[in-house]
Amino acid sequence: MRIFSTQKISKSIYQVDIIDEERFALLKDNFPGYTISNRVSAALAGDSHKHSVSQAMIILWVNQHSHPVVILNDGNGITTPVTLGGRLLIIENQENFVQKAQTLTFLNQQFPDFNDIALDIETVKVSKIQRASKAIFSNIF
């Protein structure tokens, strides 16, 4: 009683064919139609990537502060509760971000001319969505 047949085309690509149209139609009838107007409604419809991101939260360790802060980036621009430094260091590895003191010590050892004066540190998880939304923020520096 299969509805679909699948065939692996390559490492991460599959071809899916409907082999039982009648049962597939019943399956579709069991799911309501959704009006997709934002990322949340797209997620409820089963595919959150059908709608672009309208905002982003950026975690930032601001110049010499004792703890990270959250910066909001939405259609209206950047909202920040603090004054940003003049330079930005982007760290993709979250563990290195959390261990800020050790990371800065390591960078100072590796690069003799490195300094952390007026340096803000941002953590990112690289994805198309985050690259696009954070590009606006990174342009401030």
d(CA 58, CA 140): 13
Residue type, 64: Q
pLDDT at 130: 56
d(CA 111, CA 102): 14
d(CA 69, CA 80): 8
pLDDT at 129: 47
d(CA 119, CA 101): 13
pLDDT at 74: 64
What global pTM score does this model have?
Answer: 0.51
d(CA 39, CA 29): 23
What kind and span of H or E run contains 26? helix 21-29
d(CA 103, CA 121): 11
- Which residues does the chain have with pLDDT short of 70? 32, 39-40, 43, 46, 48-56, 73-75, 125-141
